[in-house]
């Protein structure tokens, strides 16, 4: 269940971050450093009631892989087809989100 929620959460937040970072190009790196960890923490807080506060290696893998599978296709398409700076900032955002979520589930 956590992997499914993480998948859809990753897809939606990555799309919203892409929209935001596309509008604000100059300050996008600052926003990525601020919103990436906040997004990962929000995911963990949203999963706590669903998973009955389960933690451990299995939850870390489920959440990290689910978020990654939901977010990486959009990031890869953006980088491969000329996204440039915005694609790299979006990859930073996704990486920080996954790192924070997995680290919070320890």
Model pLDDT for residues 80-91, shown as the tens digit of each residue = 887 788 888 999
pLDDT at 99: 95
The model carries a pTM of 0.90
CA pair distance 77, 55, nearest whole angstrom? 32
pLDDT at 36: 93
Q: Give the phi and the psi of residue 73 in degrees, each rounded to 5.
A: -60, -40
Q: In the chain, how many domains are there?
A: 1
CA pair distance 17, 59, nearest whole angstrom? 25
pLDDT at 44 over 80: yes
Task: Tell me how far apart the terminal alpha carbons of the chain are, to the nearest angstrom.
Answer: 18
Find the domain containing 96 and state its range. 2-104
């Amino acid at each position: 269940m956590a992997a499914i929620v993480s998948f859809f959460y990753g897809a939606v937040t990555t799309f919203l971050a892409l929209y935001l970072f596309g509008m604000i190009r100059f300050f996008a790196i600052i926003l990525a450093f601020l919103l990436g960890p906040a997004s990962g923490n929000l995911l963990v807080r949203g999963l706590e009631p669903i998973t009955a506060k389960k933690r451990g290696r299995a939850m870390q893998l489920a959440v990290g892989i689910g978020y990654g599978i939901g977010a990486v296709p959009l990031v890869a398409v953006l980088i491969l087809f000329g996204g440039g700076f915005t694609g790299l900032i979006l990859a930073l955002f996704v990486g920080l989100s996954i790192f924070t979520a997995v680290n919070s589930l320890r």
